[in-house]
Chains A and B, each alone.
Chain A
Amino acid sequence: MFKKQITLKEPKGMDAARFGFFMILPALVFLLFIIIFPLLASIYLSLSEWSPLTGGGTRWYEAYKFWGWLSNYWNILRDADFLMSIVRTFIIVAVVVPVEFFIGLGLAFLFRDNFVGKKIFHSIILMPMMIVPAVAGFVFYMLFQAQGPVNAVLSVFAFKEVSILWLQGTWSAMIAIMIADIWQWSPFMFLILLSGLMALPEDQINAALILGASKWQRFRMVLFPLMKPVIVIALIFRGMEAVKIFDAIWLMTTGGPGTATESISVYMYKHGFKHLRWSWVAAGGIIILIIITLISMQALKPIKEREEEQAA
């Protein structure tokens, strides 16, 4: 083993390749461990019409006795609640991600200058994203009660008593959930955009200034192009995480009133664990996996390109 002349730049010898393989082996095993069985079982179940409650005592692996081919897919793709949960999830993402972005951007600009206690303010603003999401959901549940602090504060500004039934209205409950999410994740945008801003080369900005560019021009022509990679990555990661939203909704409304705030995850949880429709949610899960895979393949492209650039 010793004294072997192996350069890492071009790992020619078996040993280097094998060594590399052994290094990633545990991760590979873990990954396959968590993917293979669940994926195969999901596909298998999804092609049957079996559920633990309707199977007449059969076990999940006997689902072939209730074979249904694509009937679950056919039915779930026409199921209003399922489709609405997807639409609703994308509405949530489409609202919260841009709002979080602009709040984050605004804050990042404010934090470019020096001021008294900057470090403390900085730390405080980062706190929400460190809070356990389930705890955050519980707090916002309290804040949004009809006699809760949110209405009390609004009453002060409206000069009359405001008693919005936040969590009981179809749209107000959605808004409440979005506010909770925005509170928790704007700091993430702030953090990323601030570090992006701080990394900008001073001289280019100064040059633009000397050329007499207006603020807006400076932003559009200089800052934005320079920050674009950072912005794209921030939007992608936040967007992908927001699709998974569950904890806050579950604690604030459990998807109610009715099905008014059911996101994809909440829908899947309800039907999988409360109504025990296993083959149904298996089909739903596969559909979600396909959608997410398609989206993430697109979304991850910029990151992949970056990686390849760096590697080159």
Chain B
Amino acid sequence: MEQKLYVKVLKFFLIVFVTMLFFFPIYWIFSMAFKPFPEWTAAGGKIYWFPNNPTFNNFRAIFSRKLEMSPIAGTAIRPILNSLTVSIIGTAIAMVVGIFAAYGISRYKAGGNLPFMLLQLRMFPPIAIIIPIMIMWAFLRMIDTWYGLAIIYGVVTLPFSVWLMKTFFDDIPKELDEAAIVDGCSNIGAFFKVVMPLAKGGIASSALFVFILNWSDFLIALILTDRRWTTIPVHISKLQSAMVGALYGPKAALGMIAAVPPIVFGILIQKYLVRGFTFGAIKK
């Protein structure tokens, strides 16, 4: 069916308008990151919709050794590296554990109710049991360590990696690994030599998805780190200075840095996002 031209044009404008609405807050972070102090807020009686005097000072501020007159002594380099480290290792843990489990579930129907237990785990607010977890982590000397944070990230995102990988394995015909076993491969051999290579794409996109989730965490890092392994979101919440107050510019600059990897990865794995957020219940 053909639409009338004016309908098409109207629809197009609607799309442009809605897209702008969705983009505006992101634009606000990005533009704020380049605004000098007087343009941060409307304290001077005027809102700055664009950076009138664009500057890199906000980036200088978060990366310079010291924010003078501010209670934050460290630079943002450490938190950025921390975020990367714990997100990557957490993702690796979730993926390795998840891939094995997913294969066991997909091919051998192992684990019984395990997949649904995992789903339920994901649905609990983590805050409901974080105090005993904190006690446990402190007992194991895992507070404020990279492995402490990475392990909890691995556990929290395990449901996603298991379910995602399970759907990818389900898509690979069973006859392939059966044939391999008949040909003399061991179970594990069939898995590594036949199934894994076929699931490469699925593994990559699942890993990126899990990475985005780990990267986004605020609450867990807030509770399970002190100072050495604080992540970007925790660091952002600390950026304040005595003289000018909340450092909107530097906060936005770091927020922008924090926003880039998930956006890039997200666009990269667009096709799989649906699958990811619905634990593979909906495949594209």
Contacts and interface: CB of A to CB of B under 8 A. Distances in A.
4 closest Cβ contacts across the A-B interface?
A20-B108, A23-B104, A20-B110, A27-B101
Contact of B274 (A27, A39, A147, A195): A195
Interface string B235-261: 011000000000010011001001100
A110 B127 contact: no
A128 B25 contact: yes
B177 interface: yes
B218 A292 contact: no
Nearest to B271: A195
A243 B126 CA distance: 11
Contacts of A69: none
A296 B109 CA distance: 22
B186 interface: yes
Given A138-B255, A188-B277, A192-B282, A24 B114 contact: yes
Interface in B30-65: 32, 41-43, 47, 49
B135 interface: yes
B200 interface: no
A19 B23 CA distance: 49
11 contacts: A27-B98, A31-B117, A31-B158, A126-B270, A127-B26, A127-B263, A132-B259, A133-B216, A233-B282, A237-B278, A237-B281
Contacts of B255: 132, 135, 138-139
A92 interface: no
Given A24-B114, A142-B248, A15 B23 contact: no
A140 B100 CA distance: 41
A160 interface: no
A35 B162 CA distance: 17
Contacts of A70: none
A243 B125 contact: yes
Of A5, A60, A132, A138, the most chain B CB neighbours within 10 A belong to: A132
Interface stretch (A93-101, A164-172, A298-306): A298-306
A120 to B, nearest CB: 9
B129 A42 contact: yes
A247 B127 contact: no
Contact of A24 (B29, B96, B101, B154): B101
Q: Is chain B's binding surface mostly helix, strand, loop or mixed?
A: helix
B23 A11 contact: no
Contacts of B236: 134-135, 138
Contact of A8 (B12, B158, B174): B174
A278 interface: yes
B108 A268 contact: no
B66 interface: no
Interface string A247-258: 100110000000
A113 B263 contact: no
Q: Is chain A's binding surface mostly helix, strand, loop or mixed?
A: helix
A147 B41 contact: yes
B246 to A, nearest CB: 9
Contacts of B219: 246-247, 265, 269
A125 interface: yes
B18 A38 contact: no
B108 A303 contact: no
B187 A19 contact: yes
A281 B223 CA distance: 15
A138 B96 CA distance: 34
Contact of A115 (B12, B42, B223): B12
B109 A20 contact: yes
A129 B266 CA distance: 9
B11 A9 contact: no
Interface string A1-28: 1111111110100011101111110111
Contacts of A288: 124-125, 128
B97 interface: yes
Contacts of B281: 233, 237, 303, 306
A289 B104 CA distance: 28
B146 to A, nearest CB: 18
Contact of B278 (A115, A131, A134, A233): A233
Of B25, B47, B267, the most chain A CB neighbours within 10 A belong to: B25
Given A121-B19, A268-B125, A289-B128, 13 more contacts: A19-B104, A26-B100, A42-B132, A111-B15, A127-B23, A130-B263, A135-B255, A142-B41, A143-B28, A152-B47, A243-B125, A282-B131, A289-B124
